[in-house]
Amino acid sequence: MSAVAEIGLDDIRRAAEAGAGIIRRTPVLSSRSLSERCGGTIALKAENLQRTGSFKLRGALAKIAALGDGCANGVVAASAGNHAQGVAYAARARGVACEVFMPIGAPIAKAEAAAALGAKVLLTGGSIEECLAAAYARAAEGFAFIHPFDDPDVVAGQGSLGLELLDELPELARIVVPVGGGGLSSGIAIAVKSQRPEVEVIGVEVETCAPYVASRAAGEAVGVEPTLATIADGIAVKRPGELTYPLIERWLDGMVAVGEDEVAEAMVWLMERAKLVVEGAGAVGVAALLGGQVAPAEAGTTAVILSGGNVDAGLLAQVARRHESQAGRRLVVLTKVPDRPGALGRLLTVVGETGANLVDVEHVREGMDLHVRETAVQLVLETRGNDHAQDVLATLGGAGYDARVLR
């Protein structure tokens, strides 16, 4: 039997039963603003509100249940964060020892969360591939290995989310789902299309690391080597899975990729409009709708999977500041003033008359072409939007200040 045929609806239903009492049925939220902007009827499946902050708990519980006595010595996993937390939570719930190997550069919050759930966290190497090698070596010593996606039981567990969608959205017509290793997207597609084959499932990757998009273009499974870090680190998988690649080729109707800037804007949109904290990997579906890579279904409901909410507060703040700057609500200005008493006060008086709020001010005396009697001043201002920001700049120019906007 081929790998494509090994996972069926009955497997997914059993996996759902394995998670009963622990898995939280996450809410489906209507989104009027997203529907109006993109057209169609759009709903958000808030899996970012799942226990541990992502869908990964579903697959971990299904795998531990399938292992039975095979995990008596404990379980081991390799992960950049979300899978580690899911396995740690599932192991604690089932009374099983747990070790997770994470890259040295893994988000601190995710490593601390896995440790707080009782896992022994081992920071190993600089990539998930090195962590996988270490985890396999540990498994050879008697631990049961839980793969983050390339495992039939894990895929079946993730597919339980698809069963919920069918229960909650009777008019379901299209699903937009993040794709990393492919376990979530293929599991959902099997669960839904086995019962409603007319429902479309569209996968979304991030352009920085999009092996499934590349594989479809090449006609075979190919790997990618990202040259930049991605804001969607939770789906930064370099090569399609041996199991999940044929599943995705069979069950998914399409695959697209979105840019880093689009992901950042989707994260901010979800914070501002839906009041949801969603990590970059979880926001790519919304990014695809806002960016036009995916259109909502012409009839029926389009469901967007928000697959995780585990994002460092520092990154979230950076994304928010960037958005405020692009929207014109945060203006960073560099100008020059005479280096003598009262010059800064006069500049700030002009700024105050514009109605902008001064957030920060800093003298810059090095690294610039300045006269010996000049100093540069950097201002961080809050404005009411792009029109107000332009008024502020015009007022500064009219007062004799050569103001340069910094991004």
Show which residues are catalytic: 56, 307
The one-letter amino acid at 189 = A
What own/partner pairs with CB < 8 Å and gap ≥ 24 does 193-200 have? 193/251, 194/8, 194/9, 195/9, 195/166, 196/166, 196/172, 198/173, 199/172, 199/173, 199/174, 199/175, 200/173, 200/174, 200/175, 200/253, 200/254, 200/297
Please state, in angstroms and as integers, the Cα–Cα distance from residue 6 to each residue in 63, 145, 158, 242, 246, following that order: 15, 20, 15, 13, 11
| Furthest CA-CA distance within the chain | 83
List of residues 6+ apart from 64 with CB closer than 8 A: 18, 71, 75, 90, 91, 94, 96, 146
Burial 218-243, CB ≥16 within 10 A → b, else e:
eeebeebeeeeebbbbbbbbebbbeb
3-state DSSP assignment of residue 405: strand
Q: Using an 8 Å Cβ cutoff, are 204 and 180 in contact?
A: no
Residue whose C-alpha is closest to residue 199's, from 220, 223, 172, 177: 172
| Distance, CA of 87 to CA of 121 (rounded, Å) | 12
* Strand arrangement, sheet containing 144-145: 120-123, 98-102, 75-78, 144-145
| Distance, CA of 353 to CA of 40 (rounded, Å) | 45
The one-letter amino acid at 130 = E
Q: What are phi and psi of 37, to 5 degrees?
A: -75, -40
Residue whose C-alpha is closest to residue 132's, from 71, 63, 181: 181
The one-letter amino acid at 182 = G
Residue whose C-alpha is closest to residue 389's, from 359, 355, 363: 355
| Distance, CA of 340 to CA of 344 (rounded, Å) | 8
| Distance, CA of 254 to CA of 234 (rounded, Å) | 20
Q: What are phi and psi of 108, to 5 degrees?
A: -60, -40
